[in-house]
Amino acid sequence: MSTADRRSVAGRTESVWEVFARKAYDEPLHHVGTVTEDDEDLALVSARSIYDEQPWIHMIIVPRSSIREAIRP
């Protein structure tokens, strides 16, 4: 994991999670933002709290460190 994927908060290293959501079953998941938490459950709570601007029917979080680039910019 690169240092860009983690940040240190009050001496604790936290992970970045990418947040994806959709409003309808026939829509693809869209990237809506990130949350920074070392705990998976708290990351889920944060994602729901922070990105509540739309009536989502589905939201997922993915640790940034799990993403692999097929094509690099």
Partner 1 sequence: MSTPTQTDAPAEATAAMASLVASLADNKAALGRRYAEWAISAPTLESAVAAAAMAQDELGHARSTYPVLKQLGVETAEEDIGGGHRLALLDDELPDWTAFIAANLLVDGVLTTFVAACAGSSLTQLAQRARKILQEEGTHRVHAEAWARRLCRAGGRERDGLVARLRETWEEAGRWTGPDDDPGFRAAMASGMVTQSPAQQRELMRSWLVALLGAEGVEIALPEPPDWSRWDAGLRRWSP
Binding site for partner 1 (CB under 8 A): 9-10, 14, 35-37, 39, 41-46, 48-50, 52
Backbone angles phi, psi at 61, to 5 degrees: -125, 145
**Amino acid present at 50:** I
Distance CA 50, CA 13 (A): 21
Q: Which of 64, 66, 69, 59 is nearest to 14 (CA)?
A: 64
Would you say 2 or 49 has its CB closer to partner 1? 49
**Residue 9 CB, nearest distance to partner 1 (Å)?**
6
Would you say 4 or 70 has its CB closer to partner 1? 4
Would you say 20 or 61 has its CB closer to partner 1? 61
